[in-house]
Structure 1
Amino acid sequence: MSLVQRITAFLRSPKGRQLVDRGRRELAKPENQARLKQAASRFSAGRRR
């Protein structure tokens, strides 16, 4: 079983779906969105140098 197949199988399992749902709830929070935007801007700024 390839790594992609194993990941897909996990994400389809109840535990995987629970993890995805938790991630979506966390990303819906404004403070986490701000952190993500900050990290993305730092990352992209570092690549421009």
Structure 2
Amino acid sequence: MSLVQRISTFLRSPRGQQLVERGRRELAKPENQRKLKQLASRLSSRRR
């Protein structure tokens, strides 16, 4: 079984669904959105 298949199977499992839902809740928080935007900004400025 390839890595992609194993990840896909895990994400369909109950535990995987819990983690996906937790990730969605965390991403909905404004402070986490701000942190991600700052990280993306830093990463994009390094490429130039």
Query: Structure 1 length as normaliser, TM-score?
Result: 0.97
Runs of 4+ in 1 over 2 A off after TM superposition: none
Aligned-pair identity in percent equals 77
Q: CA RMSD, aligned part only? A: 0.2
CA distance in 2, matches of 1:37, 1:23: 16
Unaligned runs of 5+ in 1: none
Q: Deviations over 1:1-49 (max 9, x none)?
A: 000000000000000000000000000000000000000000000011x
Unaligned runs of 5+ in 2: none
Instruction: Give the paired residue count.
Output: 48
Query: Structure 2 length as normaliser, TM-score?
Result: 0.99
